[in-house]
Chain A
Amino acid sequence: GQQLNQSPQSMFIQEGEDVSMNCTSSSIFNTWLWYKQDPGEGPVLLIALYKAGELTSNGRLTAQFGITRKDSFLNISASIPSDVGIYFCAGQHNAGNMLTFGGGTRLMVKP
Chain B
Amino acid sequence: NAGVTQTPKFQVLKTGQSMTLQCAQDMNHNSMYWYRQDPGMGLRLIYYSASEGTTDKGEVPNGYNVSRLNKREFSLRLESAAPSQTSVYFCASSEFRVNTEAFFGQGTRLTVV
Which residues of A does B touch, CB under 8 Å? 1-2, 4, 6, 9, 31, 33, 40-45, 48, 88, 90, 92, 95-99, 101-104
> Number of A-B pairs whose CB atoms are under 8 Å?
61
B residues with CB within 8 A of A:
4, 33, 40-45, 48, 58-59, 90, 92, 97-107
Interface of A is mostly: loop
Complex-state Cα separation, A6 to B107, whole angstroms: 22
Min CB gap A82→B, angstroms: 18
Q: What chain B residues lie within 8 Å of A42 (beta carbons)?
A: 4, 90, 92, 104-107
Q: A48-B101, A92-B99, A103-B41 are known contacts; what are 19 more A-B pairs with Cβ within 8 Å? A: A4-B42, A6-B42, A42-B92, A42-B106, A43-B104, A44-B104, A45-B101, A48-B100, A90-B43, A92-B98, A95-B98, A96-B97, A97-B98, A98-B99, A99-B100, A99-B102, A101-B44, A102-B42, A103-B40
- Residues in A neighbouring B41, C-beta threshold 8 A: 2, 103
